[in-house]
Structure 1
Amino acid sequence: MLSTRLSVAALSAAVALAMTSGSALAQKKYDTGASDTEIKIGNIMPYSGPASAYGVIGKMEEAYFKMINEQGGINGRKITFVTYDDGYSPPKAVEQARKLIESDEVLFIFGPLGTPSNSAIQKYMNAKKVPQLFVATGATKFGDYKGFPWTMGWQPAYQSEGRIYAKHLLSTKPDAKIAVMYQNDDFGKDLLKGLKDGLGAKASQIIAEESYEVSEPTIDSHIIKLKASGADVFVSITTPKFAAQAIKKVAESGWKPTYYQSNVGASVGSVLKPAGFENAQGLLSAAYAKDGADSQWDNDEGMKKFYAFLAKYAPDMNKTDGSVVYGYGQAQTLVQVLKQAGDNLTRENIMKQAASLKAFAPDTLLPGVAITTSPTDFYPIEQLQMMKFNGDKYDLFGPVISGELSH
């Protein structure tokens, strides 16, 4: 009898302890890469190679996490950010993903860049049940919550963007003769599919298509062929290096089409400036983020924080580069997910919190654009606004348009 009383008393004491000082301890849950003091995050970027213009995204994220750490970290934990170069090469991306998970033992991989690289690691990440979170590509397949529950995009899906250009074309130039140049990978094909879906019966107005490989040194010959088609609309589905080449060549050749440039190659600082502002006048694109080059945001509360951050943590970064704005917004979204995760830093809970964002608006997103996700919606940003290049900056026009895809 005595022993029973003792065990009951011991149990009551244990319960009381758990309810007081031990409650926080009892609720802490960690997977590999997380502890009381640290959250270890992996990242893969093309710091070299044909897409190296995007490398600044990784540098911005590193700077953002440095600021968070100086402010005390997240729930008292410091972020360790391990970022590797894959040169925009899928086999190299696989190698780096394995290294991050198996050697560095990160909690998850955040913001790996590029459609080819993310395609190469997607099956591995899902087999390992490690989040491949907020991939830096808009390929639609990275929102497939059923087939790949450990992978989630961040920026608008390329098909959404293609549909939005189609909507604009149909309302402004219904009899257009359209020429398209696209990167020969999932990015190019995805955006082209959105454009064709959006045009519907009028997709037959695409009278010329040219694809290019990222290994090509120049795309001038493709532009000459497209000009010869007699098209009066040009849709350039290109990444920065090739976007700048196209803008230059179209201008040099004297071709004057209505010009649409896909968002990923529309940065004022890293594309239009090298191509020459005089060659980019009237160029159309779509945006979901504020333009760091545009003085209209000088008194915007979010952008004031962004500019202050740049001044202190990334003084060498060019505020007019869309990739600089991108890295900040993406890092800020991840910090929100980690805050929501609290002391449950398991890989499963990271995905659960990423799929539970409710109208979250990073400082750098356009008014009216916000991030909402759910267990059946892995497309965080689905709205864009059309814009036209004028002088040395874009002018936004029209409403914020949703290019929402069926989930």
Structure 2
Amino acid sequence: MSTNRRRMRVASVVAGIGIVAVLAAGCSRGGGTPNSTEDGAAEASPGITDSSITLGITTPLSGPTAGPGTCTVAGITAYFGAKNADGGVEFGDGKTRKVEIEALDDEYDPQKAKANYDQLKSSVFAMTAGLGTPTNRAWREAAIADEVPQALIMTGDPIFSDAEESPWQLGFVPTYLNEGQAFGELLAGSGEDHKVAILSQNDDYGEGYVEGFKSGIEGADNIEVVKELTYEATDTSVDAQLTELAGSGADVFFNAMSITPLVISSLQKTQELGWLPSWFLPSNTSSPSAILEPGGAAAFPGVYTVAFAQSAAAPTFADSEEGAAFLSELKEFGNYPDPPAFPHCVWSYQVGATLEQVFAKMTEPTRADFMEQLRTISGYTAPLMLEGSTVDTTVDGQPAVSTVQVQKYNGKGYAPAESWDE
């Protein structure tokens, strides 16, 4: 493709990742009163002109979470890259703008994420799509103080969807409580007796999943949590915890873990120990090809997760018109040549589509107007969503997507799990 049709730019990406950032400019959300120009029009916020808007992303592009982190840039880059090639995105003020993405690598390190935000905040209109609870939390308060939107980010931490606590924030993916509760309710509804062992990340990520799960089984006499342990996100092994949990007699393992290599090694270690429970895995660490297959997940009676979007790794994905278009755009504009193993590529593509809905409502080139319009999207079916899931940003305390479906691994991909089935 010729350079006059698009310009690709990425900052601080480790060699070999091959992710790109495409012309696209970003919006934000806020609640302040914008300054006015002499003719009475609202003064434009940083990162937006009459012809372009710039969005910033801080996300892990290297290190153990580089797989999903790279996808958070590739998907949104693909979406707006295609839009830019067609002339740009039409805004509610009547102007058509190209969208530029500036992405920085934080290696899933909160301090680096904060430094990236500090570097980007004055030149981008809004921050978006970045992966990680601790990394997004690291600069949440700064974004509030600076009145910079932190919009449709990839964390299930509910604090980002609380308009009072986080007036310049909104999460995109379902909260950890949403996910954990859905699995808990499915398990409790089985009518069978189950003993559950829990291993969770020792932070808001892990705590949210556990809280949601426990709310899902509340009042269920057939479910007993027999052992709970935690691990640190910086740990390189959880063998000791798994050995202890294996002795609990649990037939269900609730594993609230965000680190890809640890999930794989945990699947392998429990088999070595001869402990073969049914598993629950978070949506962001449940990839069939990148995690379950190398971990030997087929050895377990059931591996469950939740989803709201179609899986690009599914054998039939490319056969649909939407799926084929996504893969083509991901390759051409996102510089991502293969079907993604992680769902985050689809999620961030959906973030791009949702942002376009917001842009279409904006009548002023300000972060404040962006935030106001961000809270008005209701009943929007973004591309590649599962039936029954929609984008709704109007419910305080909930992220843009709050509906999930429990799914069970079938050896190749996932199928809906309408009831507990071992």
Range class of TM-score, shorter chain: 0.7 to 0.9
Q: Secondary structure at the match of 1:318?
A: coil
- Map 1:347-362 → 2, pairs under 5 A: 347-362=367-382
How far did 1:283 drift? 0.8
Matched, 1:326 2:347: yes
Structure-2 separation of matches of 1:337 and 1:394: 32
Q: Secondary structure at the match of 2:73?
A: helix
What's 1:212 paired with? 231
Contact preservation (8 Å) 2:68, 2:284: no
Out of 54, 57, 63, the position equivalent to 1:40 is 54
Q: Secondary structure at the match of 1:155?
A: coil
Contact preservation (8 Å) 1:248, 1:279: no
What's 1:231 paired with? 250
What's 2:11 paired with? none
TM-score by length of 1: 0.85
Structure with bigger RCO (C-alpha 8 Å, 6+ apart): 2
How far did 1:307 drift? 2.8
Q: 1:307 to 1:209 in 2, by over 3 A?
A: same
Contact preservation (8 Å) 2:59, 2:104: yes
CA shift digits 1:79-125 (9 cap, x unpaired): 121111111111111111111113xx211111222100111111110
How far did 1:198 drift? 1.8
Structure-2 separation of matches of 1:375 and 1:276: 40
Gaps of 5+ in 2: 1-38, 91-95
- Map 1:54-73 → 2, pairs under 5 A: 54-56=68-70, 57-73=72-88
What's 1:306 paired with? 326
Runs of 4+ in 1 over 4 A off after TM superposition: 25-29, 296-299
Gaps of 5+ in 1: 1-24, 400-407
Structure-2 separation of matches of 1:332 and 1:281: 37
How large is the Cα RMSD of the aligned pairs? 2.2
Contact preservation (8 Å) 1:281, 1:391: no
Structure-2 separation of matches of 1:379 and 1:221: 35
Matched, 1:140 2:154: no
Q: 1:356 to 1:301 in 2, by over 3 A?
A: farther
What's 2:386 paired with? 366
Q: Secondary structure at the match of 1:109?
A: strand
Contact preservation (8 Å) 1:44, 1:86: yes
How far did 1:31 drift? 1.0
Q: Secondary structure at the match of 1:340?
A: coil
What's 1:195 paired with? 213
Q: Secondary structure at the match of 2:116?
A: helix
What's 2:14 paired with? none
Structure-2 separation of matches of 1:298 and 1:28: 45
- Map 1:176-191 → 2, pairs under 5 A: 176-191=194-209
CA shift digits 1:216-262 (9 cap, x unpaired): 11122211111111111111111222222222222232212121112
How far did 1:48 drift? 2.0
Structure-2 separation of matches of 1:195 and 1:321: 23
Structure-1 separation of matches of 2:324 and 2:211: 38
What's 1:276 paired with? 296
How far did 1:326 drift? 2.1
What's 1:49 paired with? 63
Matched, 1:157 2:157: no
Rg larger for = 1
Give the helix-richer structure, 1 or 2: 1
TM-score by length of 2: 0.82
Q: Secondary structure at the match of 1:373?
A: coil
Percent of aligned positions that are identical: 28
Structure-2 separation of matches of 1:200 and 1:55: 34
Out of 224, 248, 252, the position equivalent to 2:268 is 248
Matched, 1:379 2:379: no
